[in-house]
Amino acid sequence: MHSYGVGDVERMLNLSRSTIRGLISRGFVAPARGPRREYRFSFQDLLVMRTARALVQAKVPARRIGRSLNALRRQLPQSVPLTGLTICAVGNDVVVRKGVDRWQAESGQYLLELDVNVTGDSLQIVEMGPGASNGRAAAGERNETPGDAQGWFERGLSEEDRDVKKALEAYERCRKLDVRHVAARINLGRLLHEAGRLEDAQRVYREALRECEPDPTLYFNLGVLLEDSARNDEAIGAYLQALTEDPDFADAHYNLARLYETLGKPQHAIRHLGEYRRLLKS
């Protein structure tokens, strides 16, 4: 199953690194560790973090958040299909929606299907009839092809675990519609890297660095690729560029420490390892 790095979570959920670390330290998510000791999040983790952010913003009590997220986490791997899943805060409750079904995460209780419309100062709630789901499905079929760059980006995300070729095509469409869409470039390069197409991945990263704003994750991913190509000196340069853009990029510090140790530069290795440990504790 595909996993996501901290940079992916930042872009996809619009969360700062400090917020992500806070969600980890409070036990809302327990990400795995990659081969370079970097955090790797599952899609379930992303859903849980998105929900946690919404509940915190809604000022739901922390204890209630914990109970709801624990219940949600238990449901996600088995009983909840992830495609088309929507999770939101309704009052103090976590509500999960899949198609026309809605249920409370904490109790598992199914909810009456309602459609909510806001017009001016009025709120209208309409119970959906049997034909409503058909109309909604038809509307979904009409909108099957994304109409903008962000739509293609989201299509790419949804296809990654099902059809890598379609995910690559979606990210390419996104890139052509918006040449400055950094997240699409990063995901495109990552998938090419994972497929063993190192030259294509490097081309994507370097084009993005020329055409987009400087991005620490771009530099970091390029560094990983260069390492895998046995170009350690260039990889060090890429990791240092990542730290120029984001001095608190813990994974870049860790990779630099490891590379400097390999190259027989213990003082450099100790410095970056110390920064890595400091950032994990902050």
DSSP category for residue 93: E
DSSP conformation class of 263:
T
pLDDT of the residue at 129: 40
CATH of 216-282, one of 1.10.3210.10, 3.40.640.10, 1.25.40.10, 3.40.710.10: 1.25.40.10
pLDDT in the model for residue 192: 93
Question: Which pLDDT score is estimated for 137?
Answer: 36
Please give the distance of CA 99 from its chain centroid, rounded to a whole number: 22
CA torsion through residues 71, 75, 81, 83, sign: positive
Amino acid 49: pLDDT: 79
Nearest to 228 by CA among 271, 197, 207: 197
- For 156-178, the pLDDT digits (tens) are 887 877 788 999 999 999 999 99
Model pLDDT, residue 65: 67
| Domain with residues 145-213, CATH architecture | Alpha Horseshoe (1.25)
Closest CA to 93 of 102, 84, 101: 102
Residue with tokens 């240092």: 240
CATH (residue range 6-83): 1.10.1660.10
pTM: 0.55
pLDDT for res 249? 86
Number of residues that make up the chain: 282
Residues of the chain with CATH 1.10.1660.10: 6-83
Residues of the chain with pLDDT under 70: 1-2, 26, 54-144, 146, 282
- How do strand 101-104 and strand 110-111 relate by DSSP bridges? antiparallel
List of E strands, 105-236: 110-111, 114-119, 122-127
Which is nearest to 208 in space by CA: 179, 235, 168?
Answer: 179
Integer-rounded Cα Rg, in Å, for the chain is 21
Q: What is the pLDDT of residue 100?
A: 52
Residue span(s) of the chain under CATH 1.25.40.10 come to 145-213, 216-282
- 1: amino acid identity, one letter: M
